[in-house]
Amino acid sequence: MVIARSQTSPSPFLSLSVFTGSGQSQNESSNQSLCSLGSLSDKELETPEKKANEQRVRKRKADHFDSSQGKAGARGLKISDYFEFAGGSGPGTSPARGIPPVVRSSPQHSLSNPPVTMQQGSPSSISSVNAELSTCAMKPVVLHMLHKTTQSDLTLEKLTALENSKNSDLEKKEGRIDDLLRVNCELRRQIDEQQRMLERYKERLNKCVTMSKKLLIEKSKQEKMACRDKSMQDRLRLGHFTTVRHGASFTEQWTDGYAFQNLIKQQERINSQREDIERQRKLLAKRKPPSMAQTPPPSLEQNKRKSKTNGTESETLSQAEYHEQEEIFKLRLGYLKKEEAEIQAELERLERVRNLHIRELKRIHNEDNSQFKDHPTLNDRYLLLHLLGRGGFSEVYKAFDLTEQRYVAVKIHQLNKNWRDEKKENYHKHACREYRIHKELDHPRIVKLYDYFSLDTDSFCTVLEYCEGNDLDFYLKQHKLMSEKEGRSIIMQIVNALKYLNEIRPPIIHYDLKPGNILLVNGTACGEIKITDFGLSKIMDDDSYNSVDGMELTSQGAGTYWYLPPECFVVGKEPPKISNKVDVWSVGVIFYQCLYGRKPFGHNQSQQDILQENTILKATEVQFPPKPVVSPEAKAFVRRCLVYRKEDRIDVHQLASDPFLMPHIRKSVASSGSSGTAVASTSSSSNSSASN
């Protein structure tokens, strides 16, 4: 009997099995083909879906032999008889033990691993197989087999090449993975090394910062000691404050040092010598001989003899003797005048030095009473070095920024602890407003604001750009005035900054322009300037500013009265309207003060007197003193800035394009100024010769 069995294999061929002969091997082969292999081929022809279902519910497919046996068993045989017939090993033995097991495998391994294994040498298995063969031989068996062939283009060479290609790709991928793993390990090693290096650098940086702080503090202490030693020496030379009691109160009174006392003694000596010379000149005038044209008196001999007049001896001198004595007196007076001028110049110089000395004494006193005198580090960044100045509610310290490695000015705002919470909140709100205005400004003529932070509930700080020089107010106190060229240079820089403030959106009115808020970068009038202090600035936003009327002045009474225009002092039912013309008026006052060394309005008045006497409201026209000599163009520029009515006054944009600030005007002004200086020197020389 021939049974065909199909297998799905890589090579297209048909499997045929022929079972012939007799004996134990033939029985085993026929047993496999009839019972086991047929069911296996049926399993192999099923789809994966069917296999999945078969795994869930496994049902055995019964053949005719099994069915016939089942019927026979059902009719006459018992289970024990069946066990005796099938196994022959006694009761309790399963018939499956006498049948060789069939190992099922996947179709991919059907060729390489044969699915049928036999237990050889087992008598029970041989007897059971013979019994089944005899039973099958007694009845005809009809087998229905399925035949399926699968054709494929793959050959063994292609399979080998494909396998080799896959293996090579796999080796490449594994090699690439190994390379990436090595690179990853190397990168991790580098990261760890960089991390360790970063930690070392951080540690080194911390050491450098610590050493920098130590050196800065040491240098600051040395400077403080030097300043105090110099101040103690100047106390004897220039003077000092002494406490004087007046009734129940104590006041500080200034006492001049020996330098001023010596100059005063020299002035007294010169004055006494001048008085002596003047007295001798009067006596000489009495002894003046008669002129040569006059007729000599009759008794010349009698006039030549000595006579006493008012207790003094007088003798008529000859013409030559008189002129000789007169020339001596003139020379002595000229020498005394020159010496007095030198003493006066030295006195003015000492006064300037005394102003510095008084300022330093106050600074040292305020620094010694400050709670930040011991070089604290604020906000873990700013190391305070020494006090620069003190205002009403703030202190300004020179500090060092440890992060950016630069010098800065730290302004510490301290609120009065006795203030109400509402007043503290208003002050803090005002300072935050100034910070927001100043933080957005970026111009070379405006001091930069770097940072803002709070210290506690009653104090906060603003960090500003540090300038080495002093302000314009200090310079004017030291030098009284400056040349027109230097003043014009300062005004040009101020106007440039004001133009920037009015070109940004929204525009800003500074409102507090004065010499104290104009910093000289290098301390001289021939360098750069920077504008600071935006505490009273006004923002001209769309809600509050009108291009025709301006904006309402909500802080009337604030500011520095000498530099504010008349419209800021108008009192009425509604607040006055202001615009950027307020800053134009301030520019005119500053330029006037630079040229003449005095303020145009209310020079010797206090702010209270200006307010009570309405000094600025009466300032309808500016007056120019005859000395020093100033060009007409400069006077015209000041007049345009100090126009009384704001409607007639120029604004900032017109001020920026004023002819006086243009280059060609500057050249003509310089030439006229030089000629004016020559004329002035000629007139002064003629006056001096006339006096001689």
Q: Report, as residue numbers or ranges, the catalytic residues.
A: 512
382-390 and 377-378: which strand pairing? Answer: antiparallel
Quick check: helix, strand or coil at residue 541? coil
Contacts of 136 (CB under 8 A, 6+ apart): 34, 65
Q: Which residues pair with 462 in a beta bridge?
A: 411, 452
Helix (H, G, I), strand (E, B) or coil at 397: strand
Q: How many CB atoms lie within 10 A of CB 523?
A: 15
* Cα angle 134, 140, 145; round to 5: 110
- The closest of 567, 590, 570 to 649, measured between CA atoms, is 567
| Integer Cα distance of 287 and 316 in angstroms | 5
Q: Is 411 annotated as a binding residue?
A: yes
Sequence-ordered list of residues with C-beta below 8 angstroms from that of 274, at least 6 positions apart, any chain: 333, 336
Contact 618, 624 (CB under 8 A): no
Rounded-to-integer distance, Cα 375 and Cα 218, Å: 10
Tell me the C-alpha distance between 577 and 573, whole Å. Answer: 12
Phi and psi torsions of 639, nearest 5°: -65, -40
Q: Are the beta carbons of 242 and 255 closer than 8 angstroms?
A: yes
Distances in whole angstroms, Cα of residue 468 to Cα of each of 149, 389, 530: 102, 13, 12
Phi, psi of 254 (to 5 degrees): -85, 135
The CB-side HSE value for 266 (13 A sphere, CA atoms) comes to 18
Q: Which of 86, 386, 60, 84 is nearest to 223 (CA)?
A: 386
Q: Report d(CA 32, CA 7) in Å as an integer.
A: 16
Q: Which two tokens stand for residue 163?
A: 């396998």
User: What distance in Å separates the CA atoms of residue 363 and residue 418, rounded to the nearest whole number?
Assistant: 25
Beta strands in 285-393 (DSSP E): 307-309, 312-314, 377-378, 382-390
Q: Known binding site for ATP: residues?
A: 411
- Residue ranges for the known binding site are 411
